[in-house]
Amino acid sequence: MVKTGFVVEIPIKDLFGGKMLQIVERYNGHISNLTKSLGSNCTVNKTLRGILDKIEADAKITFHSSRHTFATLLAQQGVQITTIQKLLGHQKLQTTQIYSEVDRKAITNDIKKRQRK
């Protein structure tokens, strides 16, 4: 993390049932450009656009939107907010809470977990 100076390691083989690792392996030639050196936000967005063009995806994805989606999906799967905080490299929990959207699916999952106990 450039802002904080923290090193964040993301265990991609364990995320989302191994799907992250499958994506990286499938598009390795394109993704390796991104993972070598992220650089500025503008540079990352240009690189992402290049990757999306090469795989013929028409999505409007930016570094910020992918980061938000990552945090939201983790929260929906019941990952603790403090773990998400560490993965995003935030020093304050308040900052992470902006990314975690409480939606109907998350509420239902939480209620089901409590009922099982």
Place of tokens 């598009």: 27
Q: How confident is the model at residue 50 (pLDDT cuts 50, 70, 90)?
A: confident
Please state the rounded mean pLDDT for residues 61-70. Answer: 83
Proportion of the chain above pLDDT 90, given as a percent: 1
Query: What pLDDT was estimated at residue 82?
Result: 92
Query: What average pLDDT does the chain have?
Result: 76
Query: For 53-65, how does the pLDDT look when each residue is reduced to its tens digit (9 = 90+)?
Result: 888 887 788 888 8
Q: How far is residue 60's CA from residue 46's CA, in Å, rounded to a whole number?
A: 12
What lies within 8 Å, CB to CB, of 55 at 6+ separation is: 27, 30
Q: How high is the pLDDT of residue 3?
A: 66
